[in-house]
DNA sequence: CACGAGTCCTGCAGGC
DNA sequence: TGCCTGCAGGACTCGT
């Protein structure tokens, strides 16, 4: 499941593959992927003729900047982009959208769970697009405001696990990297925000950063069906707790436990 | 305001 | 063998 590092890998791939290409048309096989505009025909009409100028990323959102519009794409669980040079007319059943470029190359969007979303907004309007506007800073942002982060966490009464998953507090972390961050910081996922000391939050900040930077370097994690453009990342081989229920902790040897926190599967070492 | 629960969707695991 | 149930998960909406 793509989190910040995986989305960053996709961003880099798209940057190499589709920048400067002009969209001739879009085939849509599953319209529910498109949220904005609500009329799919309008989506097709607005995007036709647009040239992709650059690829950005904010948290787990991909931004495809074009001449008059910006496409905001969220891959959610299993969304992925597949670029092919040659023309094609039939696709596997999980391809829900195909961008056809004027040079006959294609960009296919594949999403088994159909959870991904796309919003096409007028150029510049993506700034005020709600989910993006409310997004918290990324831990790897050089301007990351540590004090503000600490204050917001300490004002909350819910478990730290849920707080780190809240994209409005800090963006880019998903279930895997939150569990890993807490394991690395040696902080129990059920500890509430207001119970954490400044020092413990410093550990969390350091761990988040380290985690994400290493994951990007490793080409992302390949969990379940997720694969990046350039094949598989290797980060999954370095996970300390995620998906290791019952296996022994890398730090102390105790058996990794799995519980539910805020409705999410949560892995941790009961000793560390 | 803050939080919990329900929703979307499909492949896969487990039970019988 | 094959059906049925439940689970996974990000972010949004709705209800308390």
Q: A140 beta carbon < 7 A from strand B?
A: no
Architecture of domain A146-268: Orthogonal Bundle (1.10)
Q: A3 beta carbon < 7 A from strand C?
A: yes
Tens digit of pLDDT for each residue in A92-146?
888 999 999 999 999 999 988 888 899 999 998 888 888 888 889 999 999 999 9
Q: What is the pLDDT of residue A221?
A: 55
Q: Which nucleotide is closest, CA of A155 to its C1'?
A: B2
Q: What is the pLDDT of residue A228?
A: 38
pLDDT higher than threshold 60 for residue A58: yes
Q: What is the pLDDT of residue A99?
A: 96
Cβ proximity of A53 and A21 under 8 Å: no
Which nucleotides on strand C sit less than 7 A from a protein beta carbon? 7-12
Domain chopping of chain A, boundaries: 4-133, 146-268
Q: Is the dihedral of CA A212, A214, A217, A218 positive or negative?
A: negative
Q: A111 beta carbon < 7 A from strand C?
A: no
Tens digit of pLDDT for each residue in A169-179?
999 998 888 99
Q: Give the whole-number percent of chain A exceeding pLDDT 90.
A: 51
pLDDT higher than threshold 50 for residue A24: yes
User: Whose structure tokens read 């609500």?
Assistant: A38
Q: What is the pLDDT of residue A260?
A: 86
- Give CA–CA dist A57/A45, Å, rounded: 24
**In the predicted model, what is the mean pLDDT of chain A?**
87
Q: What is the pLDDT of residue A48?
A: 96
User: Whose structure tokens read 């998906």?
Assistant: A243
Q: Count Cβ atoms below 10 Å from residue A103 Cβ, excluding itself.
A: 12
**Closest residue by C-alpha to C1' distance, nucleotide C12:** A131
Q: What is the pLDDT of residue A236?
A: 66
pLDDT higher than threshold 70 for residue A38: yes
**Closest residue by C-alpha to C1' distance, nucleotide C7:** A265
Count Cα neighbours of A63 within 13 Å in the Cβ-side half-sphere. Answer: 19
- A180-216: burial string, b at 16+ Cβ within 10 Å, e else: bbbbbbebbbbeebeebeeebbebbbebbbbbbeebb
Same fold, A4-133 and A146-268: no
Q: What is the pLDDT of residue A234?
A: 61
Q: Which nucleotide is closest, CA of A130 to its C1'?
A: C12
- The CATH fold assigned to A4-133 is N-terminal domain of MutM-like DNA repair proteins (3.20.190)
Tens digit of pLDDT for each residue in A219-244?
765 444 344 333 446 666 678 888 88
Cβ proximity of A115 and A77 under 8 Å: yes
Output the CA angle A160-A161-A165, nearest 5 degrees. Answer: 110
Q: What is the pLDDT of residue A217?
A: 83
Q: What is the pLDDT of residue A118?
A: 93
Q: What is the pLDDT of residue A220?
A: 61
Q: What confidence tier does A64 reach under pLDDT thresholds 50, 70, 90? A: very high
**Closest residue by C-alpha to C1' distance, nucleotide B12:** A224
């Amino acid at each position: 499941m793509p989190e910040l590092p995986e989305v960053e890998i996709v961003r880099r791939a798209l940057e190499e593959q589709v920048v400067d290409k002009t969209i001739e048309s879009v085939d849509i096989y599953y319209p529910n992927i498109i949220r904005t505009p609500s009329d799919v025909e309008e989506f097709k009409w607005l995007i036709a003729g647009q040239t992709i100028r650059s690829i950005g990323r904010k948290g787990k959102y991909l931004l495809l900047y074009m001449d008059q519009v910006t496409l905001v794409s969220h891959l959610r669980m299993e969304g992925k982009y597949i670029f092919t040079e040659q023309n094609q007319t039939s696709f596997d059943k999980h391809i829900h959208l195909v961008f056809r470029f004027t040079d006959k190359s294609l960009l296919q969007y594949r999403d088994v769970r159909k959870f991904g979303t796309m919003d096409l907004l007028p150029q510049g309007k993506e700034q005020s697009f709600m989910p993006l506007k409310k997004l918290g800073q990324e831990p790897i942002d050089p301007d990351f405001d540590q004090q503000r982060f600490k204050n917001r966490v300490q004002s909350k009464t819910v478990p730290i696990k849920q707080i780190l998953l809240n994209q409005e507090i800090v963006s880019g972390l998903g279930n895997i990297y939150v569990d890993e961050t807490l394991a690395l910081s040696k902080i129990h996922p059920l500890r509430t925000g207001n119970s954490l000391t400044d020092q413990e939050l410093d550990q969390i900040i350091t761990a988040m950063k380290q985690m994400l930077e290493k994951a990007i370097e490793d080409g992302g994690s390949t969990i379940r069906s997720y694969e990046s453009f350039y094949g598989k990342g290797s980060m999954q081989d370095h996970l300390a707790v995620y998906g290791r229920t019952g296996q022994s902790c890398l730090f102390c040897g105790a058996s990794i436990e799995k519980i539910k926190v805020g409705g999410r599967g949560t892995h941790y070492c009961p000793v560390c």
